[in-house]
Amino acid sequence: MRRMKRELSILFTLIFAFQVFVSSAAATTFYVDDDRPGNYTTIQAALVDAVDGDTIIVNPGTYPEDVVDVNKPVTIKGASGYPSIGGFRILAQSNIQALTITKGVNFVDGGGSSTIRNNRFNGCGINIGTNYALGDQTIMNNLFSGSPEGVSTYDSINNKITGNTFQDCGTGLSLHSGGGGHVVTGNTFKNCDIGLTIFEDSASVYNNHFNNNINLEVRDDARVYLNSTKTAGNNIIGGPYIGGNFWASPAGDGFSQTHLDTNGDGFAEDAYQINERAIDYLPLATPGKEPGPVLPVANFRTSETLGNAPLSVTFTDLSQNATSWSWDFDNNGQSDSTARSPVYVYENPGSYVANLTVSNANGTNSKTAMITVLEKVILIFPTADFSASTTSGSPPLSVLFTDLSRNATSRSWDVNSDGIEDSKEESFVYVYTAAGTYTANLTVSNANGTDSKTITIDVGRKSSGGSSGGGGGGGGSPEPAKNVEVKELSQVFITNGKAVKFDFTKNATCVVYVGFDAVKNAGKTTTIVEQLKGKSAIVSELPEGEVYKSFNVWVGNSGYATSKNIKNPVVCFKVEKSWVQEKDIIEDSIALKRYSDKKWEQLSVNPAGEDDKYLYFTAGVPGYASFAVTGETTGIAGNISGEESGLETRALQEGGNETAGLNPGSDMGLDSIRGKNTKFPDISPFYGAIGIILLSFICIFIYRNLPK
């Protein structure tokens, strides 16, 4: 018998190993295409079903995804034609390629050692986080067009930036406050305001082609090495050796354009010193004769080109090869300043042509800009003012606030002294549920400034009575403020015969919405949800089972939410999946319980879908008062091995189909959560045949050795 048990143990071990072998035999390729049935319509949806090492192919098209969270090591690439997507947030080592990206790529914790290559970035760029762990990124062969910053790094190390083109960008590449070790080679920077800026960081920068207004900006304690050792091989301009960089300018007067290669080795005969810490000892150059005289090139920018009088304008010189400057700001043909970057104040309205003329020993050059000065305006500032229907009373105290401000374009109310905005409406009702002294504040603003007004609301303690919510009336709360963990308010207009839904969009509590069918008009009405720290003060004891959350619901003024005013009341609530897993809760046992007549009543709940974090449920309720969400534990946690549990969990996740349910008899509910079938890796017939033969031999062996 002992021998038989040992043989059965070997059998089960072999079967388990075979399952693991087959399940990991091949990676899966997912296809994203919104025009072909059977494919995923979004990259994010495909990522939900993907696992480490899978590939997601994006077919041609434009996909309206602002940000795709890449939270597992996968490859995402365009099939052809550079499909267009918004952007990516990289949370795991990934490979992104052959896409048109319009909202950038942002690296966060966990996204180290990724590769971004052969993509087109239109008006956006790549931001490599603020964590040393995010180093070792490879940014290769991408095109950055019109980007404020093509690639920027912060507190990052050992990134490789190679083969990219940065054109018409504000700054092509920014290296900030990092640990160094960056390699920048084989890139083209053209028509950018600044090609490369380095701030408190270090990098090796060689074999690049620079052609910008400012090619290199080295700031503070930055260290930059502008050439490698002279090495045989075609450089970026086709020369015979790799060494330093090619330094050009749009005006044609860059160092490499004016210092030619006279001995045929591909380098200028002189080193190029940008400043005392940045020297290219092997600057690239083209063969040719000695250059002619260098002429000045006039260029400048203005802080303003349009505004009201008096208009102060700062003129910043960007000229090249100039030794003197002459400014004419107001069309009078005379020099108003010879400073390099002056400030001028236009006192009177009108259109002015500002002219800069620069010169050096070889000649002069000029540039102009149009400045438009408008009539002087008198600024009108807002004045805050409002009324309150009452300023004192017992809880629950309903107060109608009405804005009476002047010259305001926006408003913000904080009426309970917590520093959090309660409303932006012109007029609204707030219900004070606990005794206390509150400062109601209204802040209004317009383009010229802000103004505020405050009043004091004195809410005294109730003189008598208990909870008005025990019968579902609601309106105010007898719950002590110290027992309220968090609360959220929702307001809607209640019209007879209409379905009413109070959405709690701030997600502050476990309640998603409260709804019912209105039988009587009630106008603008407030519903309050209080999520409690522990047992409610208005219940005698907690209900049976594991308690997830306790909360109170108060609808409208006291006595409103009764059967004569509402029908089909419903509550939609959510439960964290982490709580279910941590407490080992049986999912089907999750219940909503209501406290009434000094006892707990269990209500029927319906699943309403799920997302990555929560399970959602709806429940028809007799009325609104004190509730508790509970569940029952399995009591068998830890009895299943990690391997078997992981396999079963994976099978359920991949083979399941999510559904969204609504409470019967009500048209209220969450938006349906659409299920998506998972695509599994194919198991080849070869592996299947091996498994059948293996199992057959094992079974025959055991049969022959059974005790006769």
Q: What is the pLDDT of residue 589?
A: 94
> Are 576 and 643 part of one and the same domain?
yes
**Cβ neighbour number for residue 519 with a 10 Å cutoff:** 15
Please spell the DSSP secondary structure of 335-351, one letter per residue: --B-SSS-EEEE-S-EE
Per-residue confidence at 480, pLDDT binned at 50, 70, 90? confident
Contact between 649 and 612 under an 8 Å Cβ cutoff? The reply is no
Q: What is the pLDDT of residue 180?
A: 86
Q: What is the pLDDT of residue 445?
A: 96
Q: What is the pLDDT of residue 670?
A: 41
> Are 453 and 489 part of one and the same domain?
no
Domain containing residue 568: CATH number: 2.60.220
> Are 175 and 196 part of one and the same domain?
yes
For 134-166, how does the pLDDT look when each residue is reduced to its tens digit (9 = 90+)?
Answer: 678 999 999 999 999 999 998 888 999 999 999
What share of the chain has pLDDT > 90, as a percent? 61
Whether 358 maps to a domain, the answer reads: yes
Whether 699 maps to a domain, the answer reads: no
Query: Which of 345, 374, 403 corresponds to the end of one domain?
Result: 374
Residues with Cβ within 8 Å of residue 594, at least 6 apart in sequence: 600, 601, 603, 621, 622, 623, 625, 626, 627
Dist CA 209 CA 248 (whole Å): 8
Q: Which residues pair with 182 in a beta bridge?
A: 203
Q: Of 198-202, 519-523, 687-691, which range is least confident?
A: 687-691
Tell me the average pLDDT across 181-203.
94
Residue 661 in this model has a pLDDT that exceeds 70: no
Q: What is the pLDDT of residue 170?
A: 95
Q: What is the pLDDT of residue 206?
A: 97
Report the C-alpha dihedral over residues 131, 136, 140, 146, rounded to 10 degrees: 10
Averaged confidence pLDDT in the chain: 83
Q: Phi first, then psi: what are they for 457, rounded to 5°?
A: -110, 120
Residue 398 in this model has a pLDDT that exceeds 90: no
For tokens 């028509």, name the residue: 191
Contact between 185 and 207 under an 8 Å Cβ cutoff? The reply is yes
Whether 668 maps to a domain, the answer reads: no
Q: Phi first, then psi: what are they for 535, rounded to 5°?
A: -65, 140
**Cβ neighbour number for residue 326 with a 10 Å cutoff:** 16
**Cβ neighbour number for residue 626 with a 10 Å cutoff:** 25
Give the containing element (helix H, strand E) for 197: strand 194-199
For tokens 């991949």, name the residue: 654
Q: What is the pLDDT of residue 111?
A: 72
Per-residue confidence at 387, pLDDT binned at 50, 70, 90? very high
SS3 (DSSP) at 208: coil
Q: What is the pLDDT of residue 693?
A: 54
Q: What is the pLDDT of residue 130?
A: 59
Can you state the angle between helices 642-655 and 2-23, rounded to 10 degrees?
40
Q: Of 74-83, 125-134, 266-275, which range is least confident?
A: 125-134
> Are 64 and 114 part of one and the same domain?
yes
Contact between 155 and 133 under an 8 Å Cβ cutoff? The reply is no
Whether 409 maps to a domain, the answer reads: yes
Dist CA 511 CA 486 (whole Å): 12
State the SS3 of 570-625. Answer: EEEEEEEHHHHHHHCECHHHCEEEEEECCEEEEECEEEEEECCCEEEEEEECCCCC
For 501-522, how does the pLDDT look when each residue is reduced to its tens digit (9 = 90+)?
Answer: 999 999 999 999 999 999 988 8
Per-residue confidence at 596, pLDDT binned at 50, 70, 90? confident
> Are 549 and 447 part of one and the same domain?
no
> DSSP letter at 543?
P
Strands 499-503, 484-494: pairing is unpaired
Which residue would you say has higher pLDDT here, 593 or 662? 593
Please spell the DSSP secondary structure of 26-40, one letter per residue: ---EEEE-TTSTTSB
Residue 378 in this model has a pLDDT that exceeds 90: no
Question: Distances from the Cα of 441 to the Cαs of 224, 395, 447, 486, in angstroms?
Answer: 54, 20, 20, 21
Per-residue confidence at 183, pLDDT binned at 50, 70, 90? very high
For tokens 């009088």, name the residue: 309
Dist CA 530 CA 481 (whole Å): 10
Q: What is the pLDDT of residue 558?
A: 60
Domain containing residue 348: CATH number: 2.60.40.10
Q: What is the pLDDT of residue 520?
A: 86
Q: What is the pLDDT of residue 396?
A: 84
Dist CA 114 CA 90 (whole Å): 8
Tell me the average pLDDT across 298-319.
95
Tell me the average pLDDT across 251-274.
88
Q: Of 45-49, 177-181, 188-192, 346-350, which range is least confident?
A: 177-181
> Are 515 and 367 part of one and the same domain?
no
Residue 182 in this model has a pLDDT that exceeds 70: yes
Residues with Cβ within 8 Å of residue 70, at least 6 apart in sequence: 47, 76, 88, 89, 90, 91, 92, 94, 96, 111
Residue 626 in this model has a pLDDT that exceeds 70: yes
Tally the residues of the chain.
708
Q: What is the pLDDT of residue 288?
A: 66
Contact between 496 and 519 under an 8 Å Cβ cutoff? The reply is yes
Per-residue confidence at 362, pLDDT binned at 50, 70, 90? very high
First to last CA, the chain: 11
Residues with Cβ within 8 Å of residue 37, at least 6 apart in sequence: none
**Nearest partner of 643 among 16, 176, 4, 7, judged by Cα:** 16
Q: Phi first, then psi: what are they for 413, rounded to 5°?
A: -105, 135
Per-residue confidence at 64, pLDDT binned at 50, 70, 90? confident
Domain containing residue 124: CATH number: 2.160.20.10
Q: Of 16-30, 268-282, 339-353, 447-461, which range is least confident?
A: 16-30
Q: Is the peptide bond before 543 cis (omega within 30 degrees of 0)?
A: no
Contact between 239 and 209 under an 8 Å Cβ cutoff? The reply is no
For 542-581, how does the pLDDT look when each residue is reduced to its tens digit (9 = 90+)?
Answer: 999 999 999 999 888 766 788 888 999 999 999 999 999 9
SS3 (DSSP) at 518: strand
Per-residue confidence at 289, pLDDT binned at 50, 70, 90? low
SS3 (DSSP) at 247: strand
Dist CA 105 CA 97 (whole Å): 12
Q: What is the pLDDT of residue 7?
A: 52
- Considering its fold, how many domains does the chain have in total? 4
Residue 485 in this model has a pLDDT that exceeds 50: yes
What share of the chain has pLDDT > 70, as a percent? 82
Q: Of 277-291, 396-410, 674-688, which range is least confident?
A: 674-688
> Are 93 and 158 part of one and the same domain?
yes
For 78-113, how does the pLDDT look when each residue is reduced to its tens digit (9 = 90+)?
Answer: 998 899 999 999 999 999 999 999 999 998 877 778
**Cβ neighbour number for residue 190 with a 10 Å cutoff:** 17
Secondary structure tally for the chain: helices H, strands E? 6, 53
Dist CA 30 CA 668 (whole Å): 36
Q: What is the pLDDT of residue 482?
A: 85
Q: What is the pLDDT of residue 205?
A: 97
Query: Which of 169, 198, 227 corresponds to the end of one domain?
Result: 227
Structure tokens at 15: 């079967």
**Nearest partner of 627 among 569, 560, 564, judged by Cα:** 569
Which residue would you say has higher pLDDT here, 326 or 483? 326
Whether 288 maps to a domain, the answer reads: no
> Are 78 and 187 part of one and the same domain?
yes
Can you state the angle between helices 685-704 and 2-23, rounded to 10 degrees?
180
> Are 351 and 440 part of one and the same domain?
no
Question: Distances from the Cα of 680 to the Cαs of 29, 342, 520, 608, 677, in angstroms?
Answer: 9, 68, 54, 27, 9
For tokens 């080795």, name the residue: 265
> Are 370 and 390 part of one and the same domain?
no
Residue 464 in this model has a pLDDT that exceeds 50: no
Whether 697 maps to a domain, the answer reads: no
**Cβ neighbour number for residue 439 with a 10 Å cutoff:** 12
Residue 20 in this model has a pLDDT that exceeds 60: no
Give the containing element (helix H, strand E) for 644: helix 642-655
Whether 266 maps to a domain, the answer reads: no
Query: Which of 340, 374, 408 corresponds to the end of one domain?
Result: 374
Question: Distances from the Cα of 409 to the Cαs of 402, 412, 429, 432, 510, in angstroms?
Answer: 15, 11, 21, 28, 35
Residue 479 in this model has a pLDDT that exceeds 60: yes
Q: What is the pLDDT of residue 675?
A: 33
Dist CA 572 CA 607 (whole Å): 10
SS3 (DSSP) at 12: helix
> Are 553 and 610 part of one and the same domain?
yes
Q: What is the pLDDT of residue 663?
A: 37
Q: Which residues pair with 551 in a beta bridge?
A: 531, 627
Dist CA 370 CA 354 (whole Å): 6
Contact between 189 and 195 under an 8 Å Cβ cutoff? The reply is yes
Per-residue confidence at 696, pLDDT binned at 50, 70, 90? low
Residues with Cβ within 8 Å of residue 518, at least 6 apart in sequence: 494, 495, 496, 497, 498, 499, 500, 565, 566
Q: What is the pLDDT of residue 511?
A: 97
Per-residue confidence at 654, pLDDT binned at 50, 70, 90? very low
Work out the burial of residue 691: count CB atoms within 10 Å of its CB; fewer than 13 is exposed, 13-18 middle, 19 or more buried. middle
Whether 264 maps to a domain, the answer reads: no
> Are 318 and 414 part of one and the same domain?
no
Q: What is the pLDDT of residue 597?
A: 83
> Which range of residues forms the domain containing residue 441?
386-459
